[in-house]
Amino acid sequence: MIPRPFFLSRVLLPAVLLQAAFLPLQLQAETLKERQTRVLEAVQKVGPTVVAITGASAKGSMGSGSGVIISKDGLVLTAGHVLAATGEDLIITLPGGREVKGKSLGRDMNRDAALAKITDPGDYTFADMADPSSIEKGEWVVALGHPGGYDPQRGAPLRVGRLWDVDNKTFYRSDCTVSGGDSGGPLFDLSGKVIGIHSSISQNLSENRHVPIGVFEKDMERLKNKEVWGKLSNIMPGMRDEEEDNSDQDKDLNRPRARPKKEPGSRQKPAPRTEPEEPAAPAAGRAYMGATLQMTDEGQVRVEEIADGSPAAQAGLQLEDIITKAGGKEIASNSDIVAQVRAAKPGDMLKLTIRRKGADKELEVKLAPAP
């Protein structure tokens, strides 16, 4: 029998598995049954490790999100923007509704990765982290989290999908639909190992970004030592860091938003889904280039993502290109390019000088109206 926290899987799972409907008839029943068995076994195994995270330092509005326990002593993986919103003192809600105290540890804001720790003593059920080298594009994955905050009536809903982009330099991307409150929750493979942490919502319901588990593996000691580095704007150009500016203006609308604390016994509906332009969502009609940029450790501006059909894609910009000049001017950071795009009008040409495989090249991007 499926425990209450995962009862929604009985509703969502069959619909997802219909993606196999075009297999030969003799294979359909076997394939669907095998996949359903693997999914349910994985959820039974890892469900007790998925937690809700809420700030505990003040009354009124505060951030919240999700996380996953990855050690017996209560280490919790989550998203950087979740802990930036909640503050240092945490309330961590375990499956079943038990609340324990916790503390924020380190945050890599460049990659939206963070670590927290349950401070109430005890031995906690935990999930294993996957070997990054074992993760493959196209594999079936399971997303868990607490959209809209912890709800004892339904626990952590189950979403099943495919991992369609495996890029350890930026994000993993899947079609497991996530929404507000899922931020920081885990993405599992079908063996029940954590392969990523939910970071942000992209332009449509079937494209969601997850922090690769290798990011946590690489910097685990720094995170344990409470180091905090980087800015979210390094991933989403033009977005203001949450710690620098808490106003609503210019916030990254792609990212599931922090939710206010619920009153005891109350239930909240998930926040409405937004579908803005990809990095830094300018107002509709303003100039748009369609590339996500990140500062490298060497201080260079590197292209990390390019939106399909965008001006950047049409101009021939490619992933891993290093942009050295924009508008004929040398640039020191991605904000230099953002400023030029914001000052331009749709239809204007932005001349870029890029370095690709050691050779310099010039491109002209015809800016379009933002979607």
Looking at the structure, do residues 271 and 300 belong to the same domain, yes or no? no
Looking at the structure, do residues 90 and 234 belong to the same domain, yes or no? yes
Of the residues 281, 314, 343, which one is the last residue of a structural domain?
Answer: 281
Looking at the structure, do residues 123 and 89 belong to the same domain, yes or no? yes
Looking at the structure, do residues 12 and 157 belong to the same domain, yes or no? yes
Q: What is the average pLDDT across 285-303?
A: 80
Looking at the structure, do residues 79 and 147 belong to the same domain, yes or no? yes
Q: What is the CATH number of the domain that holds 87?
A: 2.40.10.120
Looking at the structure, do residues 127 and 36 belong to the same domain, yes or no? yes
Distance (Å, rounded) from C-alpha 250 to C-alpha 335? 13
Of 14-23, 134-143, 219-228, the one with minimum mean pLDDT is 14-23
Percentage of the chain lying above the pLDDT 90 cut? 37
pTM value?
0.60
Q: What is the mean pLDDT of the chain?
A: 76
Looking at the structure, do residues 233 and 147 belong to the same domain, yes or no? yes
Looking at the structure, do residues 242 and 293 belong to the same domain, yes or no? no
Looking at the structure, do residues 64 and 192 belong to the same domain, yes or no? yes
Looking at the structure, do residues 256 and 299 belong to the same domain, yes or no? no
DSSP class of residue 120 equals S
- Per the structure, the complete domain to which residue 20 belongs is given by 1-281
Task: Give pLDDT tens digits for 48-101.
Answer: 999 999 987 544 445 678 999 999 999 999 999 899 888 899 999 999 899 999
Q: What is the average pLDDT across 161-185?
A: 84
What is the β-pairing status of strands 301-306 and 228-229? unpaired
Looking at the structure, do residues 162 and 262 belong to the same domain, yes or no? yes
In Å, how far from its chain's centre is CA 245? Answer: 21
pLDDT band at 125 (very low <50, low <70, confident <90, very high): very high
- Give the number of domains in the chain: 2
Looking at the structure, do residues 3 and 109 belong to the same domain, yes or no? yes
SS3 112: coil
What is the β-pairing status of strands 99-108 and 228-229? parallel
Of the residues 233, 260, 281, which one is the last residue of a structural domain?
Answer: 281
Q: Which residue has the higher pLDDT, 206 or 143?
A: 143
pLDDT of residue 67: 96
- Tokens read off for 184: 């920081």
SS3 211: strand
